[in-house]
Structure 1
Amino acid sequence: MYDYLIIGHGLAGAVLSQRLLERGKKIMVLDQPQDNHSSAVAAGIFNPITGRKMFKTWRADEFFPELLQFYPIFEQTLGAKFFHPMGVYRPYFAIEDQNDWEAKKADTKFDSYIAHASTTPIAAHQLHDPYGGLFLKQAGYVNIVKLLTANKKRLTDKGSYQEAMFNEKEVVRDSDHFVYGVLKFKKLIFCNGVKAQQSDWFDWLPFHPVKGEMIDIALEKRPDTIYNRGVFILPFENESLRVGSTYHHQYDNMEPTEAGQNELKQKLSGLLDETYQVTGSRAGIRPATKDRRPFIGKHPDNEHIYVFNGFGSKGVSLIPYCSKLFTAHLLDGEPLDAELDISRYYSHYSAKPKD
């Protein structure tokens, strides 16, 4: 008998599996690798200062200390290297941005995230940064594919991983547990990204999927930090540099497109003034939500069916902290954060036509 059946082994499912295992729970992770995983193609960047006006990202003071603690420990557990804190350089768009940040130096709320500010261009690469920019700390990236590969091996060695399509119509309730084929488990958790939209249990949640595309490029000299303005340039281990990303709610397929690549090249021209070679492309569908907040919690009518999903493009930053809260809710009865709890959308479920 398993305590939890986790549907999906993207970043959400992998991190949650770790949280439950370290609390001594018996789990089974059911993965569907042929589906389009946003985790498998994501850049994995974590960045505390985002947006055109470079605001501190949502609840950074809670999320970033947890991710900086969690991933190095997870590396040790899995015996794999996938966490790469390396900083971000954010060129100013205009002299007004420079003046704005010069005025903010006295604001201590940014101290944890700003390494230093420059008022002159950097010399490492030919960037469009005539006004200088910000060097951010507590930023970098996670090689999500390496994390998932290492966690899959560990789960497989424990007999806690299967690759198979999941059909919720075959789940049978039997007194105090569920039965799915030969599996028996007490609770079910959906961590399967946009596929959760197709679930009869969670199709009422207002997902707002976003297609993101990236291109890989080669430069004569690799950066030693992430460049980010309009697009990012990520020096991804020993591979080509990754450039991204697009954000499109309307899309016809899950594959890279010529239009997406052209959009990225155009944006890249606003950041980089060097010759480069495109060496590849990739695309994925992010499980974003209407209110840009995760979906965490239990089904309104099924107290043993849960969702842990909807992390969008910020999964690397959000999932460690959110998984800690969710585990405390599951095992210790701690209340969920109101901004995360799907109870905020129970009215959508009530309005759903019943069979």
Structure 2
Amino acid sequence: MVNHKISEYLKDYLIIGHGLAGAVLSQQLLEKQQQITVLDLPTSNHSSSVAAGLYNPVTGRKMVKTWMADELFPVIEPFYRQLEQHLNSSFLLDIGIYRPFVSFEEQNDWDAKQSDDKYTPFIKSIRKKNLDSVSLHDPFGGIHLNHAGFVKIPQLLRASRAALIQAHVCEEKYFDQSQLKIKSDHITYENIAYRRLIFCNGIEALQTELFGWLPMHPVKGEILKAKMGKKITTILNRGVFILPLDHEHVRIGSNYQNHFDNILPTEKGKEEILQRLNGVLNEPVTIVDSTAGVRPATKDRRPIIGKHPEYEHIYIFNGFGSKGVSLIPYFSKQFMTYLETENGLIHDVNVSRYYKAYNSR
């Protein structure tokens, strides 16, 4: 219980980080009339600001449904549509994904899945010949996927930041751990008291004493921006994605680097992406820019959400990696329930699965 002597001047939440996770969570808390402060200093290599923003229910070389697809993907588009209305902005493009088949066997396999209830929600159509609109290496046709598209994350973050600034709850500064004081039933930061503290700041959470013990590791990814002669109206994806930005520009990516010397784009990364692109696309492209970001990946590729093992009022909402767009809508709602009831988080994402790492430090 919070000490009644200080309860009158306590704010509700201090949120560290305004990437996609922090932006979504802060808007949900504001809707519930919570008093919040969001602490974040945008940087050029912010993982959310350079992310592609794809949501794709069928992934990998074997083209399998992504983890928890049946629960996650029906939520995604309604969630971002509602957020667009709330922020008076536009950032969701539900334009689907086209994935070429690599063999007749794969074509036949997915043709059969059209009558399988486990897959029908995600199948828009099956092509058994080349795509007409653009020249691809797709002699066996491909699949058009439903519940697939992308979110323009930079636009979402700008709209969210503008709303937070207008509400006077956003401070553009780094989190200074020396200014944090942990009390028995609240925390203070720069002499302001808060009931709860939530870390949504990606790999920077590892730089704190509170969550430095977590098994998150940075993964670097690079994305190219290019000019392309033909206009595409859907996302092309097989080993590399090609995402339409406007009438002449596309984004192409991505790669994954577990070991890297810096966070800048590299010639090696560019060549790796182009090599993959040449295996899919027969159209000429002109590279005009490249970006890189560092994602907060986890050992088991699952988010890390929940309460610090020692401090009841300190939380983490983090570790979404490259699938943040598809994971955050569903799990932000679970987390909101958890904050109110301490129930609702599945074990696969609960930070409690790593408490042993904290206890064995």
Q: Distance in 1 between matches of 2:328 and 2:113?
A: 30
| Residue 238 of structure 1: how far off its partner (Å) | 5.6
| Structure 1 residue corresponding to 2:103, chosen from 74, 94, 99 | 94
Tell whether 2:152 aligns with 1:143. Answer: yes
Contact 1:233 1:244 in 2 (8 A): yes
Q: Distance in 2 between matches of 1:237 and 1:18?
A: 28
Structure 2 equivalent of residue 31 of structure 1:
40
Listed one character per residue, the Cα deviations across residues 248-294 of structure 1 (whole Å, up to 9, x for unaligned) are 11111111000000001100000001111111101101111000000
Q: Distance in 2 between matches of 1:22 and 1:332?
A: 18
User: What amino acid does structure 1 have at the position aligned with 2:220?
Assistant: K
> Where in structure 2 are the equivalents of 1:95-244 lying within 5 Å?
95-174=104-183, 176-237=185-246, 240-244=249-253
Listed one character per residue, the Cα deviations across residues 145-180 of structure 1 (whole Å, up to 9, x for unaligned) are 000001101111111100111122321134532221
**Partner secondary structure for residue 237 of structure 2:** strand
TM normalised by structure 1 equals 0.96
Listed one character per residue, the Cα deviations across residues 86-109 of structure 1 (whole Å, up to 9, x for unaligned) are 000000112221122123233111
Structure 2 equivalent of residue 13 of structure 1:
22
Contact 1:31 1:162 in 2 (8 A): yes
Contact 1:37 1:193 in 2 (8 A): no
| Residue 35 of structure 1: how far off its partner (Å) | 6.9
| Residue 237 of structure 1: how far off its partner (Å) | 4.1
Structure 1 residues 176 and 105, CA gap change in structure 2 (3 angstroms): closer
Structure 1 residues 35 and 126, CA gap change in structure 2 (3 angstroms): closer
Listed one character per residue, the Cα deviations across residues 91-130 of structure 1 (whole Å, up to 9, x for unaligned) are 0112221122123233111111100101100110110000
Contact 1:75 1:81 in 2 (8 A): yes
Contact 2:114 2:123 in 1 (8 A): no
Listed one character per residue, the Cα deviations across residues 7-62 of structure 1 (whole Å, up to 9, x for unaligned) are 00000000011111112211110002137311000010111111111111110111
> Where in structure 2 are the equivalents of 1:254-293 lying within 5 Å?
254-293=263-302
**Partner secondary structure for residue 118 of structure 2:** helix
Structure 1 residues 182 and 156, CA gap change in structure 2 (3 angstroms): farther
User: What amino acid does structure 1 have at the position aligned with 2:186?
Assistant: H
User: What amino acid does structure 1 have at the position aligned with 2:77?
Assistant: L
Structure 1 residues 349 and 246, CA gap change in structure 2 (3 angstroms): same
> Where in structure 2 are the equivalents of 1:35-74 lying within 5 Å?
36-74=45-83
Q: How many residues align?
A: 352
Contact 1:240 1:279 in 2 (8 A): no
| Structure 2 residue corresponding to 1:334, chosen from 329, 336, 343 | 343
Contact 1:66 1:320 in 2 (8 A): yes
Contact 1:186 1:304 in 2 (8 A): yes
| Farther off after superposition, 110-119 or 332-341 | 332-341
Structure 1 equivalent of residue 6 of structure 2:
none
Q: Distance in 2 between matches of 1:96 and 1:255?
A: 41
User: What amino acid does structure 1 have at the position aligned with 2:26?
Assistant: S
Q: Distance in 1 between matches of 2:138 and 2:359?
A: 52
Q: Distance in 2 between matches of 1:333 and 1:25?
A: 17
**Partner secondary structure for residue 334 of structure 2:** helix
CA RMSD of aligned residues (A): 1.3
Mind listing any 5+ residue stretches in structure 1 that lack a counterpart?
none
Structure 2 equivalent of residue 349 of structure 1:
358
| Residue 208 of structure 1: how far off its partner (Å) | 2.5
TM normalised by structure 2 equals 0.95
Q: Distance in 2 between matches of 1:67 and 1:23?
A: 20
Q: Distance in 2 between matches of 1:44 and 1:67?
A: 12
Q: Distance in 2 between matches of 1:346 and 1:35?
A: 33
| Residue 325 of structure 1: how far off its partner (Å) | 0.3
| Farther off after superposition, 310-319 or 164-173 | 164-173
Structure 1 residues 239 and 305, CA gap change in structure 2 (3 angstroms): farther
Q: Distance in 2 between matches of 1:68 and 1:34?
A: 28
Structure 1 residues 35 and 234, CA gap change in structure 2 (3 angstroms): closer
Structure 1 residues 199 and 266, CA gap change in structure 2 (3 angstroms): same
Mind listing any 5+ residue stretches in structure 2 that lack a counterpart?
1-9
Q: Distance in 2 between matches of 1:91 and 1:242?
A: 18
Q: Distance in 2 between matches of 1:140 and 1:105?
A: 20
User: What amino acid does structure 2 have at the position aligned with 1:154?
Assistant: A
State, as a whole percentage, how many aligned pairs show the same letter.
Answer: 51
Contact 2:228 2:248 in 1 (8 A): no
